[in-house]
Amino acid sequence: MAEAIEAAASVVNRYPDMGSVSLYEALSERLGVPTSDLAVGTGSVALLYHLVQAFCEPGDEVVFAWRSFEAYPIAAAVCGARAVMVPLTSDGRHDLPAMAAAVTDRTRIVLVCTPNNPTGPAVGQADLDTFLESVPSDVVVVVDEAYREFVRLDDPLDAVGAYRDRPNVAVMRTFAKAYGLAGLRVGYLVAPSPVAAAVRACALPFGVSAVAQAAAVAALASEDALLERVGSIVAERDRVAGGLREQGWTVPDPQGNFVWLGLGEDTPRFAAAAEEEGIMVRPYATDGVRVTIGEPEANDVFLAVAEAFTPKV
């Protein structure tokens, strides 16, 4: 991958391939999906913005769980759409029946973040199927799978399978997380061709750089090696979650590369205690902290911080 990046970086005087042809072809082959049903973009956040832009008029509604990915309310607001935020269950999961019930005739898009950033739990196939049955087919259901490579469920999602079966399912993925290309800004959408075409039409020309295109193609070609690293992160994640539970913490099922502590009012105090030991956690107001899994030594320091902290949640 480093070689592909270096080679592409040596010709930055040229515009990138506007059609991102090699990347579309590589994705099409890898996923078994026609290129007409794909849209690549400058990160999946950009694809989300394009989707909202393409489908929402001011006053239309975008339904999503909360707390979830912070870009969701912003993407809705940019287009004057109304963000309908459906509270997570107490164990940090999407409340899919409540989300289905929140759909109105103004709803254009429902976002399903799985695993949920920042709380961790992932949606299983059976629950997604039940949910899709109850959502009208003219509402686009976006399955945001930014952390899919880290999921270890008995009933994992086949979101691309759901897209194949239905006219209204879009799958959003990114090279930013498991593939380690966050700084290059590249992600993709798999969706029925009218949806994918609408998203492509909103994208800025030449958005995905030549370096990003080359790196993404190379990442797909060396997927096995990249995903090995994911395996060791998953092992550490499960070790950290197990350690926290042994200390008496309640930890929502972590299926991403992070764990969540729902600390409520204690959130800032916990973040400060961690920082004192050199550990950066991500505080979310008075909801909780998301702790990204790091090297084993750093995870041990974090576990010691958690052990010393009272009260636990």
Of the two residues 107 and 116, which places its CB atom closer to ligand PLP in the complex?
116
Q: Between residues 143 and 274, which has the closer beta carbon with respect to ligand PLP?
A: 143
Binding site for ligand PLP (CB under 6 A): 43-45, 69, 113, 117, 144, 146, 174, 176-177, 182, 187
As measured in angstroms, the least distance from the Cβ of 8 to ligand PLP is 19
Shortest Å, Cβ 280 to ligand PLP? 17
The smaller minimum CB distance to ligand PLP, of residues 16 and 187, is found at 187
Phi, psi values for residue 63, rounded to 5°: -100, 130
Smallest gap from Cβ 45 to ligand PLP, in A, equals: 3
Using CB atoms, what's the residue nearest to ligand PLP?
43
Phi and psi (nearest 5°) for 225?
Answer: -65, -40
Do residues 151 and 255 make contact, with C-beta atoms less than 8 angstroms apart? yes
Between residues 45 and 305, which has the closer beta carbon with respect to ligand PLP? 45
Instruction: Considering the complex, state which of residue 56 and residue 189 has its C-beta at the smaller distance from ligand PLP.
Output: 189
Whether residue 86 contacts residue 103, with contact meaning beta carbons closer than 8 Å, is answered with no
Supply the minimum distance, in Å, between the C-beta of residue 207 and ligand PLP: 12
Q: What is the smallest separation between the CB atom of 56 and ligand PLP, expressed in angstroms?
A: 18
